[in-house]
Structure 1
Amino acid sequence: MSHRNARLTVHGRRLLVERVRAGRPVAHIAAEMGISRATAHKWVRRWRAEGEAGLHDRSSRPHTTPHRTAAAVEARVCGIRRDRKLGPARIGPILGIPASTVHRILTRHGLNRLAWLDRPSGEPIRRYERERPGELVHVDIKKLGNIPDGGGWRTVGREAGDRNRQATTTERRSHKPVIGYSYVHSAVDDHTRLAYSEILPDERQETATAFWQRAQAFFADHGITVERVLTDNGSCYKSKLFTRTLTAAGIAHKRIRPYRPQTNGKVERFNRTLLDEWAYRQPYASNAERTAALADFLHGYNYHRCHTALGGKPPISRVNNPAGQYT
């Protein structure tokens, strides 16, 4: 790419060629355009040899690099990185090469950040994104411990939290909530990252199926027609009821490979955001208080929260602009 003070851009080079083709001397044209004769002759030669393509900038990368690290050494660096997850400062002494060289090798092979690696296999994570809204919706369930009335140990400390938990547990006969678990059912559109969540009492097939029907209506209200749903291999998602419900709506049901949660990565990442920015954002005095805060979190996530994968815009911006072209 030309620098900001460049005398010749691609347009300027075309003008140079046009004037030369008109029969004018190259030296005169170079003087008019404020460039040297050697530069003018260079672009004329490239145009005669390559045509229009010769007027565009070329890569500054050299054709050969005689002093580049041997391929066998690079392979060993990458192998140690995948197998032992060591950094350049550790790998360098093992192989007898500078840490800076190790870092360049890891960068060249896309292994310089552990966050980009699948921890079990050590292979770079292959990221993908569907081309249009509704083409794929990720669905998952997050299990959370209930909060006793008066607050759990995060709010009031271990001793008082234990007393609150025991007091709530003994109130079974009064039909008040007992300590147990809540299940956050979530659905995230792959392309837009638009999310829908509900806190439900269990993860049975009837509960999961009813949740999906409400989630589908939510996406439909935003103009998104769901084509495919991706889930893990939980029993509720393997049930005939869940599959039949999707099939009746013309939706294909896909399940991830066993022990590969990263395949369902959009909703897994959403679950982590859910914990950081809602469930554990502040100490809650009761389970009802935490439940009530979910609606505000979802509104902020869908309409206001910046998303790096969406060019710093919230999910709703891509719903209104499916092509993903941000201005």
Structure 2
Amino acid sequence: MGWTETCAMTERMRFMTAVEQGDEAFAAVCRRFGVSRKTGYKWLERYQAEGVLGLIDRSRAPLSHPEAVPAAIAERCLAVRRAHPTWGPVKVRAWLERQDAEIAWPAASTIGELFDRAGLTVKRRVRRRGPPSSAPLAHCGAANDVWCVDFKGWFRTGDGSRCEPLTLSDAHSRYLLRCQALARNDTEHAWPVLDAAFREFGLPHWLRSDNGPPFASRGAGGLSRLSVMVIKAGVVPERILPGKPQQNGRLERLHLTLLQDTADPPASSLRQQLKRFKDFQRLYNEERPHQALGNDTQRGAGRCADRSHRGRGRQLECLLRTDRTRVHRS
């Protein structure tokens, strides 16, 4: 014979039925169901006031919590997240602290829970990652030591225009020096961007890129027209190993943020897309907190280098005085 299964709601309904029949004294009914008279009267009062719904267990949670986040504070956190969907709790908290340091803002973990409750987060798929093969960025000891350059990859705007973003950033400070849409990814279009950056910020020591055109070629030493022009300007080109984009990981990570904030989906026209790039560059450099910089911004990080560029190319003999291994060093 199996065990007789029951539940609290069933027992309470049986208790109320027995009380309403009036065949036994109230105390006797309580003893038969194994509850005290105080508990019996409590359920009887709820049943008479609310009916069957009164027999459901009520929440024991307190009506108020002294450590709860005020609604106004929570809404400000959510407003920043809605304005910047790619910012995590750490960046949101750092940005709020800079805007109003007198308020005791919640911890980053609490802000993350607010995002979860409001449905503003998407769970990431867990990926198995292998250890990096090298550490090519260890020599970036100061701003303007190494600049990173690359094309984001072309796409079409809503009106069918081709957009080829070129980004140029400082590897140490993460300062975004240039973010421009070019018509093509060749030397004629890329060099004016580099030349303007050299004139505005001075010359870095190295310029890191991948092995694709126009940064490299199959010629002697892998040099291209653009890399020769860079050398004549006084900068050493530095190329990552083929198939190792993680060696230029800081710029690749910037490209992910650029895609999420400006091109997902693309703008309706090329003019609108250019405006997005301009607004993104200002936001990235002046407002967006960066965890690698202690949740600070790069405001003022784009200082001028010690070496200036006047548009005059040096003789190619400088290449002979430069360690050729630097070009392919990892």
TM bin, normalised by shorter chain, reads 0.3 to 0.5
Question: Larger relative contact order (C-alpha < 8 A, sep ≥ 6)?
Answer: 2
Return the index of the structure with the highest Cα Rg: 2
